[in-house]
Amino acid sequence: MAVVWTYTGLMPEDMSGRVVYYYERALTATVNNIEHIESQSYYGRGIVKIFFQPGTDTAVAQTQITSVSQTVIKQMPTGSTPPLVLAYNASSVPVITLQVSSTSMTASQIYDMSSNLIRPALVSVAGAAIPNPYGGQPGNVMVDLDPVKLLAHRLSPVDVSKALNSQNIVLPAGDQRIGAFDWMVQTNASPRDMNDLNMLPIKQVGNAVVRLQDVAWVHQGGPPQTNLVLVKGQQGVLIVVMKSGDASTLDVVAGVKKLLPGIISTLPEGVSIKVLNDASTFVKESVEDVLREMLTAACLTGLVVLLFLGSWRSTVIIATSIPLAMLCSIIGLGWAGQTINVMTLGGLALAVGILVDDATVMIENIDAHLEMDKDLETAIIDAANQIVIPTFVSTLCICIVWMPLFQLTGVAGWLFMPMAEAIIFAMIASFILSRTLVPTMAKYMLAAQVAAHAHGPVAPKTIFGRFQKGFERKFEQFRQSYQNLLKHLVATRATFIPVFVLCSLGSLGLLFFVGQDFFPEINSDTMAIHMRAPLGTKLSEAGKISQLVNDEIERTLPGQVESIVDNCGLPFSPLNQAYIPTPTVGTQDCDLTVSLKDPNSPVAEYRRMIRRNLGEKFPGTQISFLPGDLTAKILNFGLPSPIDVQITGRNLADNFRFANRLADRLRHVTGLTDVSVQQPMTTPTAGEYAPDIRVGHRYYGIRRGEQRTGLSVRQFAGRAGVLAGHQNGCVASD
């Protein structure tokens, strides 16, 4: 579960100490089965993630979290609002990213269109979870005050705020019955356009009225931009679509693509929507690869059986049992609540070679009993009774081998347990079919074959028959040679055994040269890069640096890059950080998504080339690589890297110093790259204090002279705001 707290303007240390700290203590006292809690405090927002013990009822946990979130509000700073409570798991990852751009609209207009038109239309896709758009700027009506004009009219910003609050209200007036009609009454209590806002009265002096346009400039705009998306140097907006829970990636992506043509037809001219990342392509290719390997394995298995048995009837019997065992396994997976995915299909592909054993042993034993001059039915019964216990023990041993996977927890258990279930269900089905279906088919299909051989051996009449007989002769020679080799090794066992043991122990030395990984590296057409400019860099400057980085990446990989999208700064909504965590903590951070032309690009080699070149060309800028493909994102469970080291201690400053020393040592460990401390503690901060303030020839002490002046810090700040604006000469700056 993830809980998102927001308090505009609150510093990260205040969010951590005044909000998150007390909330975490309340959670530990009222919520059951908590495994551990993680939290990140940003400027104006805090994200708390609660991890539960396996088997916890998430519905009950969400109810408990929501309840305590409402009651803990009184302990928070004044003006705090209840948090948002979200449920997510490892599979809740982005599956498709849409780029919205326009040649005739501003960044604010593109954001409003994406948020109010495109996003609501896509929410109707079953299983889709869509955070707020990235990039652009939320559209607001801005009132820019002129400090000089305010002083000239003896007004303060508080006076303007009061006038706006009292004259911009929703005031229903009901209806009025006049004659035979019932008239709906509409008031003008709320301004409808910019001109109405400009004409709002602020103050009356005699017969003169001071209006808003006399002291301010009212226009369409937005708050200072905190998130910037650049596509080929132009501002754009990204809409990230995630799949929630057990929803199918293919279904979610297909649903989004089905709605896009209708959505585009309703948008203004010049607006384009482009699909940047599509995880369904990876899933489709993975499923196709597994199915192809499964079919190949089944065909090769049938060919080998046909080659050794020399009977197409026996081959058909064995080949029939394989797909039936797989279908039974799929039924079992459905009962267990699993789906057809890469892991379950991989389990079935692994089971193909094992599934053939039960049926093959049964057919071979029937053939052996037929050579004892038994009739067909007696041979089938005796053969089945003879091997039932050995095959049962063999099947049981194979199933037991996979049982430890059910004890795995976390991402490993969630990932590999479906594969184990697929193999176990297939093995159980294969054993049952070899005791039921195979003898039944043998009774009816081998009768003609037995009758043909009743009068003695029959000479092969076809090319394949002659080839099979020749293969049997060659194989018999090989078996005889192998037998002679074994006799020789047994005779010289005093020499052979030490040499064999020595070679076996020597092979262990390969462990020092073979790498180890939780999941193998794959080739893909996407790379995700995180760039951190020097701390405190403005959003616009970080965007410029990201464009230079883009140019260097294209020079490093000539002809390989399809497009690069830069996502700089913190997203407008904290929901995005809860759903899609990244190392971004401020305006100096950018996430670069590099799309490659070749879907099978060697991304591991490309990463080494880019890391080396960017490190040389951009000193002082940190470059690290994030999980780019779907599998890596799921395995990392939302973390920016496969290895995540957390430092826990009572003193935050000491923790930071220790983390930096540890990072310096880890950088010398062979195989580790992109080692960095995610949380910066040295971001430039301009402190604002409450000292004595000089007005004219008099000094007013806000804190020390509070009783003398009769003003509190809050009151004095409101009345002195216009003076600060006059001295600074501006209202807001980027």
| Per-residue pLDDT, 347 | 82
CA angle 22, 24, 27 (to 5 degrees): 110
Q: State the pLDDT confidence band at 453, using cuts at 50, 70 and 90.
A: low
| Per-residue pLDDT, 8 | 84
475 and 429 together in one domain: no
Residue 313 lies in a domain: yes
Rounded-to-integer distance, Cα 703 and Cα 720, Å: 14
Q: Give the domain extent around 722.
A: 692-728
Residue 442 lies in a domain: yes
Q: State the pLDDT confidence band at 729, using cuts at 50, 70 and 90.
A: very low
Helix (H) or strand (E) holding 237, with range, is strand 237-243
Q: Which of 151-155, 675-679, 690-694 has the highest mean pLDDT?
A: 151-155
23 vs 653, residue with greater confidence: 23
339 and 446 together in one domain: yes
Helix (H) or strand (E) holding 694, with range, is strand 692-695
Domain boundary among 455, 478, 506: 455
Domain boundary among 28, 52, 86: 86
359 and 486 together in one domain: no
Residue 613 lies in a domain: no
416 and 483 together in one domain: no
Residue 559 lies in a domain: no
Reply yes or no on whether the pLDDT at 696 is more than 50.
no
352 and 488 together in one domain: no
399 and 307 together in one domain: yes
418 and 301 together in one domain: yes
478 and 380 together in one domain: no
CA dist list (Å): 465 to 307, 314, 469:
9, 14, 6
302 and 408 together in one domain: yes
List pLDDT tens digits, range 402-442: 888 888 776 677 778 888 898 999 999 989 988 888 888 88
Residue 623 lies in a domain: no
| Per-residue pLDDT, 548 | 92
Rounded-to-integer distance, Cα 657 and Cα 713, Å: 35
CA angle 218, 223, 226 (to 5 degrees): 155
Rounded-to-integer distance, Cα 449 and Cα 452, Å: 5
Domain boundary among 32, 64, 86: 86
Residue 65 lies in a domain: yes
| Mean pLDDT for all residues in the chain | 81
Residue 184 lies in a domain: no
351 and 430 together in one domain: yes
Rounded-to-integer distance, Cα 74 and Cα 253, Å: 43
pTM of the model: 0.71
329 and 441 together in one domain: yes
List pLDDT tens digits, range 327-374: 899 899 888 888 777 778 778 877 877 777 788 888 888 888 887 878
| Per-residue pLDDT, 459 | 62
Name the domain count of the chain. Answer: 4
568 vs 279, residue with greater confidence: 568
Residue 330 lies in a domain: yes
CA dist list (Å): 430 to 166, 310, 314, 420:
78, 23, 16, 15
Task: State both tokens at 717.
Answer: 């700040």
Q: How far is CA 433 from the centre of its chain?
A: 41
301 and 436 together in one domain: yes
CATH of the domain at 429: 1.20.1640.10
190-204, 266-280, 301-315, 377-391: the lowest-pLDDT one: 301-315
| Per-residue pLDDT, 689 | 52
* Residue 34 · residue 50 · CB < 8 Å: yes
695 vs 159, residue with greater confidence: 159
